[in-house]
Amino acid sequence: MAKYLHRDISWLSFNFRVLQEAIDPSVPLLERLKFLAIYSSNLDEFFRIRVASLRNLARADKGTLKTLDYSPEQILHEILLIANSQQKKFSDIFQKTILPELKKNHIEVVSWKNLNKEQVDFVDTYFNEYLLPYVQPIILARRKIKPFLNNGALYLALHIQSKEDQKHVPEYAIVKIPSDHLSRFLELPSKDPKIKQIIMLDDAVRHSIRLIFPGYNIQNSYSIKLTRDAELYIDDEYTGDLIDKIKKSLNKRSIGIASRMVYDRTMDKQFLQYLMDVFEIDELDLLPEGRYHNNSDFFKFPGYNLSHLKDASLPPIRLQEMEDAASIFKKIAEKDQLIHPPYHSYESVIKFFEDAASDPDVTHIKIIQYRVARISRIMNAMKEAVKNGKQVSTFIEVKARFDEEANLKWGEELEKAGVTVFYSMPGFKVHSKLALIRRLEDGKPNLYAYMGTGNFHEDTAKLYSDFGIFTNDKRLTSEAARVFTFLETKQRPLQSFEYFGVGLFNLKEKFISLIKREIDNAKKGKKARMILKMNSIQDTEMIDLLYAASKAGVKIKLIIRGVCSLIPEQKGLSENIEAISIVDRFLEHSRVFIFHNEGKPEVFLSSSDWMVRNLHFRVETVFPVLDPDIAKVIITCMNIQLNDNVKARILDSKLSNKYKRNNGDIAVRSQIETYYYIKRREETTILADQNIEN
């Protein structure tokens, strides 16, 4: 009996849950297209990071492989089988469901073979005026001519034949589909103004490519794409200039070795073998797809203001007592405040920083930035605070994957504005979501903290479901201050952490002690319960501890969005563990840990999942929810999710992803239920405040 699922196989199961949203007929049509885009984007990143890493391991010496408890080559084969199966389903969904339903709604995606005369002239004109500078035609000659294919760029591989060749010797060529410069979706002239007709840029190139090969007949064309290894290989993080090393590694990322060649599965074997020879690709590097690749471009599919084909609007709920407060700090001093974006507006977090920047009594502002919005009012507030004489410092993690370049740019911009910027720690990532403000009140310094499960990112706050707490509680603010002191000085705090669990100090130990307390209670015959919500769980020590808790009689409910290496409900191992995953319109991102504690529930929020990287190689934080009213709200939200019978999938050893159904009379879609629960709660708070004022 297996004890663990391999993380990458489990991840593919998660990505299939995303694909299920594209299959679900109850999801509005354009939202289904969006989920196809998310699935595709996820898979690209997976191949650039995880599959590239596995390939490197598979090619490593046997001595290295002896240290692993799995075969990288076997996992690679499993991944390719699963990904190939999912890609076939993807193509079926798009061709047999999405395209016909778009047509019913008067949006037609037209094949290049079905263009009328007016459209042929239009596409040829567009090709000559806009596409021609970018297509970069190259005739191939096996390994004599090996063009470099840009990572993630689309290309057409052409089977061509000279019109003068009487022997019919096949020749091959490559042209670029310039979707990085031009829209992937080209609107065609239509005879019926009520019908929108679109041609994919790929097909526009297919149609007009004959214009730049006048001496050849185009026998066939197939789209291909190379995905390149995106890992930053930094030989030594501990010596020299780490930032300079990261910059140099970023320059090499776009030319990393190929980790995948995606190709049209209708391509004949002879042509495919020819391309494998040209680009030095082996079978482990191949992934067949449909006619179109880079389907993340569906994020930009034209919607034509057809609101009925999109999700109904859920306007973010104003946290009115915070957003309208004359002094946000006075409001926090009265009582800890909870924010639950995207249900709540993110405006109160922004106000926290903007008010601090202009408040004459604020002396210091500190913040940890893991991912930063391209246009950020929070970052602008940091710059404004410096102008107003505040001491402002920010820790920027420049090893945040795919955000390294953006974070470096923000760091440079903040430094120019006078902000003190601290960068990545060698060997570790800093993933905590903390901010701290020092304010003079009655001549004495007072600390205010924001502690959250998500990044200070105004854009993702509209899509990611997270919790954050504003607090003036000295038990918490003093420990938050110690985290910042460590990041700024690199010296261990003189005082230990009592309330916080902090990565590199006591994070894992904090989680272990809380679980062991429930185990002890169960062994004494007391009621023992845990509700654990994370993005991912993979650390085998934590999984084994949950198995031990299950055997002791602790009832455990897991809500895991992504990787779940733990196998629930296995006889003799995990009979008391139930696990679900929720994939819906918002990305479930919060980490919540609830322990029964003999009927006195303790609630914790965290930046940390239970992955090896989080628990051992990152500065993460877990912190208690000390305000009982906030704890009740969070428990209610978790119970709503556990009762989801619309978007929850059951996690099991077979990776079946069956929807959770029950005999309830009412359909419970947890994200919608949560929205209206938060809305009712805020309206009740407003009415209560009005009654107090009256």
Band of pLDDT at residue 678, cut at 50, 70 and 90: very high
pLDDT at 148: 83
Mean pLDDT of the chain: 90
Band of pLDDT at residue 98, cut at 50, 70 and 90: very high
Same domain, 227 and 337: no
Same domain, 617 and 519: yes
Band of pLDDT at residue 47, cut at 50, 70 and 90: confident
Same domain, 207 and 326: no
Same domain, 45 and 19: yes
Under 8 Å between Cβ of 283 and 273:
no
Instruction: Report the distance separating Cα 552 and Cα 435, nearest Å.
Output: 39
Q: Of 15-24, 224-233, 359-368, which range is least confident? A: 224-233
**600 pLDDT exceeds 50?**
yes
pLDDT at 182: 93
Q: Quick one: which H or E segment has residue 96?
A: none
Residue 692 in domain:
no
pLDDT at 689: 56
Residue 670 in domain:
yes
pLDDT at 60: 72
Under 8 Å between Cβ of 542 and 566:
no
- Report the CATH number that the domain containing residue 108 is assigned in CATH: 3.30.1840.10
Tell me the mean pLDDT in the region 367-393: 94
- Report the CATH number that the domain containing residue 459 is assigned in CATH: 3.30.870.10
Band of pLDDT at residue 139, cut at 50, 70 and 90: confident
Ranked by mean pLDDT, the top range of 136-150, 166-180, 258-272, 620-634 is 620-634
Residue 650 in domain:
yes
Active-site annotation holds for 431: yes
Cβ neighbours around 405 below 10 Å, total: 13
Tell me the mean pLDDT in the region 534-557: 98
Residue 285 in domain:
yes
Bond from prior residue into 341 cis (ω within 30 degrees of 0): no
Residue 310 in domain:
no
Same domain, 370 and 515: no
State whether residue 256 is helix, strand or coil: coil
Same domain, 368 and 514: no
**583 pLDDT exceeds 90?**
yes
Share of the chain above pLDDT 70, in %: 92
Same domain, 38 and 165: yes
Q: Of 62-66, 514-518, 520-524, which range is least confident? A: 62-66
Under 8 Å between Cβ of 539 and 503:
no
**238 pLDDT exceeds 50?**
no
- Of the three residues 456, 472, 495, the one that is the final residue of a domain is 495
pLDDT at 551: 97
Under 8 Å between Cβ of 399 and 232:
yes
What are the DSSP calls for 351-417, one per residue? HHHHHHHH-TTEEEEEEEESS--SS-HHHHHHHHHHHTT-EEEEEE-TTSTT-HHHHHHHHHHHHHH
pLDDT at 279: 84
pLDDT at 325: 94
pLDDT at 687: 55
In degrees and rounded to multiples of 5, residue 631 shows phi and psi of -60, -40
Same domain, 284 and 145: yes
**299 pLDDT exceeds 90?**
yes
Domain, as residue range, for 377: 320-495
**694 pLDDT exceeds 50?**
no
pLDDT at 236: 47
Q: Of 216-230, 433-447, 597-611, 668-682, which range is least confident? A: 216-230
Residue 691 in domain:
no
**282 pLDDT exceeds 90?**
no
Q: Of 110-114, 137-141, 351-355, 392-396, which range is least confident? A: 137-141
pLDDT at 166: 65
Residue 675 in domain:
yes
Same domain, 19 and 142: yes
What are the DSSP calls for 533-596, one per residue? EES-B--HHHHHHHHHHHHHT-EEEEEESS-B-B--S-TTTSTTEEEEEE-SSSEE--EEEEE-
- Of the three residues 446, 469, 495, the one that is the final residue of a domain is 495
pLDDT at 324: 94
pLDDT digits (tens, 9 = 90+) for 399-427: 767 667 788 888 899 999 999 999 888 88
pLDDT at 442: 92
State whether residue 483 is helix, strand or coil: helix
In degrees and rounded to multiples of 5, residue 250 shows phi and psi of -60, -40
Number of independent structural domains in the chain:
3
pLDDT digits (tens, 9 = 90+) for 161-182: 888 876 677 789 999 999 989 9
Share of the chain above pLDDT 90, in %: 72
Q: Which of 431, 457, 589, 596 is catalytic?
A: 431
Instruction: Report the distance separating Cα 154 and Cα 294, nearest Å.
Output: 7
Band of pLDDT at residue 125, cut at 50, 70 and 90: very high
Band of pLDDT at residue 246, cut at 50, 70 and 90: low
Same domain, 286 and 361: no
In which residue are the tokens 């006889």 written? 571
pLDDT at 494: 81
**84 pLDDT exceeds 50?**
yes
Residue with more model confidence, 641 or 149: 641
pTM across the whole model? 0.92
- Of the three residues 476, 495, 514, the one that is the final residue of a domain is 495
Same domain, 328 and 454: yes
Same domain, 428 and 539: no
Under 8 Å between Cβ of 436 and 447:
yes
Residue 635 in domain:
yes
